[in-house]
Each structure stands twice: as C-alpha cells, then as structure tokens.
Amino acid sequence: MSESYLSTLIERQAGKYGVRAALKYRDYKQGVWIPVSWNQFAGKVKKVARALVALGVEVQENVGVFSQNMPECLYTDFGAFKSRIVTIPLYATSSESQVHYIVENASIRYLFVGEQYQYDVAYRVQQLCKTLKRIIIFSPDVMRAAEDTHSIYYDDFLQLGEANELQAEVDRRTGAAVSTDLANILYTSGTTGESKGVMLHHSCYEAAFQAHNKVLLTLTDQDVVMNFLPFTHVFERAWSYYCLTKGCLLCINLYPQDIQMTIKEIRPTAMCSVPRFWEKVYAGVHEKINEASGLKKSLMLDALKTGREHNIDYLMNGKTPPPMLHLKYKFYEKTIYSVLKKTIGIERGNFFPTAGAAVSKQIEEFVHSVGVNMVVGYGLTETTATVSLGWMDDFRTGSVGRLIPGLELKFGEDGEILLRGETVTKGYYKKEALTSKVISEDGWFHTGDAGYMKDGFLYLTDRIKDLFKTSNGKYIAPQAIETKLVVDRYIDQVSIIADQRKFVSALIVPEYKQVEKYAQDHHIAYADRADLLKKPEIIALFQMRIDTLQQEFAHYEQIKKFTLLPEPFSLEKGELTNTLKIKRPVLMKNYANEINKMYEE
C-alpha cells in the first residue's frame, strides 16, 4: 500500500456497512448505550477533516488529544488522518507538567480535551505555553474559565467543517496521503526519566494489520469489542484501529473504574486488557471458593483441577484428553465455567488479548482452565504494539507466544531481544541521539527486554535495565518475584528493593479488605489500618504467605524483610506511570525511611 490506508478507512467501511452500528458509548445521564452508525462516524470524520483545515492546521502538523476514551477521540484521529495531520494522545490522568512538556516538545497549537479535569489542566498550561493557541472541548458539560474567550466546544468546532468549499483541500490532502506519513506520536510515560515521543507512521499500522490478519483468524465483523484500556496506550489504540478494519462494533468505556459494570451491560466477545484485570478475577473466584463449604467448595475446586488437566496438560501439549476427562470438562462447562463467565460478563467471549506486563503462570493457567481464550502477547510502543502472541490452540503458559509474521528477532548481549521490521518505529521525536542509541544503523531495535526462544515460543526473563545487583554481586529480577507475589489474595501491590543492598526486601500494599476480614475472623483488635498492619499476627500471616510463594527462588533472591504500607501506590504521588507500572526511583524517594529501616543492623 503506497497510499495511506487509515486516511480513507472509515469512509470505505461506511460504504460497506452503512447504517449498521460502528461504535457505542454510554450516556451516563440516561444510563443507556448510544449507537453510532458507520455513516454517522464517516460524516463526523469528514467534518473534523474540514474543520482542521478551516483552523489552518497544516499537513503533518501535530494536534493533541487529552481525554479519556470517548467517540470524539476516534472522530478526531480519523479526521486528522484524512487531512494528513498527526495526532498525539495524552493520558487523561496526565499532570500539568507532563502536558506542558508534550505540548511544548511537539509544538502543539490545538489541543482537544475530554472533561473538566483535562480542560482545567490544559487551560493552566496555556497560560505558560508559547505554542498552545486553542483548546477544543469534547464534553458540553465542561465549565470554561470566566476569562477564557478562546476555547471552543467540539460542536462549535464541527460547525467550522460545514463549509463545502473546504472539501477540495481535504480531497487534495487525502489523495496525496502516503504510508510514509506520520500518523501518531505516542509519548511513553516511562518508569524512569522524562517521556519520549515514539513516532508511528501509517506504514507501521498497515504492517501490523497485515501481520494480524494472518494470526487473529476468528476476529470478524460480528465481534463486539469493549475498549477498556486508554486509547492513548499503544495496545488499545492499535487494537481498536485493527478492529475497525475488520468491521467490529467498538463499545467505548469512558471510565476505567466502571469496567465491572459496563462489561456486564455490553457482554463483549473481545477486549484487550492488562494482567491486573485477570488478577482481580482470579482473586474474586478464590474468595468465593474460600467462602464456600462442603459439596459446593469441592465441586468448584474439582472444576478448576479438571479444566487445568483438560486444557493445559492435554490440549496445550497437543494431546487428546481421555473420554472421561472430556465428559467431566463438558459437565463443568455447562455448570461452573458458564456461571463464572456470566458473572464477569464474558460468556460470549471469542478471545481476550492480554499484555502490558508479565502475566503470572498461575493466573494464565486459571484463565485457560475455565475455558477463557486469553491471548497472551508481548509488545512495545516502539513496535506498534504486538511483537508476539500465543494463539488459542497454539500457546504455552509462561511464554508470550510466537513472533508475528514480518518481524525479525535476534538476541544481543545479556539475552536482549532485538527486533527489526515494518512495525518498528523510525525513532523518537526530536531525540536523534536516543534514536541512534536504541536503533542500530542496520535497523535493529534494542528493546531493553531479555528473553529466550524455546520450541518457537518467546519467553521473557526481565527488563535488562530493571535487573538489580545486590551488594554481594548477585543479580535479581524484581518482576519475576513481584509477579509471583501479586497473585496472593492478601497482596494488592508489591515493589522489590535489592539494588546495591545486601539482601532483598519488599514494600507491600495489602489487599486491605482481606486483611480486615482476617482480623475480624481471628478477633484481632486494632485502632486503624496503620495499627492493624503492625500487629504481630498480621506480620506472621504475610511472612507465611511470602515464604510459601517464594520457595522456587534461589536463597539470595528471596525476600528477607518487608514493610506493609497503609496507603496504596498512586498516580497522584507520581509512584505509578499512566499504565500503572511502578516508578521505582519515586518509590525509593517516597519510602526512603521505611526502606532504610529494613536495612538497619
């Protein structure tokens, strides 16, 4: 494809599907889901393309989209592509300094914002920024500042696109659009240092679509897809664009915290998510099992055991399950598994892509055991998401699947994964030195992830730069330990401390509800949460659970001391990235006292 595929995608699909629903979004005032047809979608895209031209946005100029997931994000993206304009998404939770940095770095003149928080932040940034000319507001409920005479609402912006004489310029631009045009710049929040803008050209997306067409064979225009992760995240963005190429119905979840309600309202057939979603499901199911007794409890436990034998021990290893095991599995499929899926809202499930962090083997085995097609993959912003994935009948627990077609892989020093192919970024925006550091002259991108191949499946071992070296010279992979611990129902978040220390310690955020319930069941009196977490019985409970979970690790890798924290790690305190990964340098600073205390003689 030499012309730009995304610039005409929505128009082509409207020609094919017409009045059929392309999108759905939840109207919170009425509590109903509103459909948007392909024709309406294409009409909005056309108006956006014209309105951007009316504002004087030039070919390949950057515009920003600072919003949670809304249909307007997609109208703006595809309208921009139609007029050869680059969109830069910003996380809805971004701080003022993050927004300021991106707006200045990318010379953004026009910034689209979602709701009140984003508008307030953008308006404050505008006072400090030389470049930001105008804010365009998606939600009509946003209250503008009294002195703000420049910002306009999205409906007024679309009015600018009513003029027919603008169409000739839009057509000229669409006709000239090529796959070497820049589509997006995605600023990665990063667990260290300032964010960097990953440039993704139209050719990156086109190569990704072609590769996925060879692998995701069951995704069709009959699929109902829930958009749960932020569109700003490359995983959700590339996946959503791909779903639109297949004619799927996209159901846009506005607030991430509402997913347990909205998933039951939509009952999607597919949804991409991070392991955290499945960890919560796992914890919920095991809580139910622990509360049950007698026959009910033994049936639930046997159902998990049967599913594991049938789907993991036999099917995953290419073996046919014995007839009796198969009959038993079918019985549980009609009873326990179907009830479980219905409770979550995924009983119509086709498949569920999962990536963004390490998936613990325990979680993966559990999800497959109950007959949910979890597709575990690995990808980066720099590779337009997917590098590898394990397909439904071709996966290995613990691996991140097989490499997608069209991508080359080799291993560098320390087992570092190096990649080359059309989906790989051409580099970081305005950061030539960094680009040449991570992409070699012959096109190999250094991922910073270590791994190995076995029987055609890729396995990750850890982030190379995340490897800790103890003062005894031993290397520790913190993520391996954290992934193991976070499946425990008493543990919500964990961060391993080991770098330049004489032993491994941990900061642990407990699952407070479970700990409080334990205290109640064991008649442990306490004044408040901080007091509860200091009780010897609670410390002993955690010690016992940690000792059990870390048995497989070498002695020097095991946690010797830990601190239970009364407050969770948070975005507000800068302890998490926008994709909820832990920022270790910030934790080291924020919890310096607690950490030092663990190493006192």
CATH number at residue 147: 3.40.50.12780
Same domain, 508 and 551: yes
**Contact (CB, 8 A) for 246 and 203:** no
How high is the pLDDT of residue 465?
Answer: 67
Neighbours of 41 (CB within 10 A): 24
- Do 150 and 281 have their domain in common? no
Same domain, 135 and 240: yes
Domain for residue 424, yes or no?
A: no
Instruction: Specify the pLDDT at position 409.
Output: 98
**Looking at residue 572, which CATH number applies to its domain?**
3.30.300.30
Domain presence at residue 158? yes
Do 239 and 289 sit in the same domain of this protein? no
Is residue 578, in this structure, part of any structural domain at all? yes
Tell whether 331 and 449 lie within a shared domain.
yes
Shared domain check, 512 and 367:
no
- Give yes or no: residues 264 and 291 share one domain: no
Q: What is the mean pLDDT of residues 362-380?
A: 94
Rounded to 5 degrees, φ, ψ at 183 are -100, -55
Q: Which domain holds residue 547?
A: 467-598
Residue-averaged pLDDT of the chain: 93
Q: Are residues 483 and 586 in the same domain?
A: yes
Total tally of structural domains belonging to the chain: 3
Q: How far apart are CA 548 and CA 542, in angstroms?
A: 10
- Measured distance CA(369)–CA(305) in Å, rounded: 8
256 shares its domain with 340: no
Same domain, 41 and 104: yes
Tell me if 432 is assigned to some domain: no
Whether the pLDDT of residue 9 is over 60: the answer is yes
- The helices-and-strands tally (H runs, E runs) of the chain is 22, 25
> Is residue 298 in some structural domain?
yes
Per-residue pLDDT, averaged over 345-349, amounts to 95
Q: Do 446 and 521 fall into the same domain?
A: no
* CA atoms of 183 and 76, how far apart (whole Å): 12
190 is a domain residue: no
Chain center to CA of 583: 16
**Does any domain span residue 161?**
yes
> What average pLDDT does the segment 513-519 reach?
95
Using a cut of 0.75, tell me whether the model's pTM lies above it: yes
Residue 427 belongs to a domain: no
Rounded to whole angstroms, how far apart are CA atoms 280 and 580? 15
Q: Please tell me whether residues 398 and 539 are part of one structural domain.
A: no
> In which residue are the tokens 């946003």 written?
142
**In the predicted structure, residue 2 carries a pLDDT above the cut 70:** no
Question: How far is 76 from 63, CA to CA, in rounded Å?
Answer: 9
Rounded Cα distance, 568 and 512, in Å: 10
Alpha carbons 352 and 366: distance in angstroms, whole number: 14
> pLDDT tens, 554-592?
788 899 999 999 999 988 888 988 777 888 889 999 999
Model confidence pLDDT, tens digit, residues 284-307: 888 888 888 899 999 999 999 999
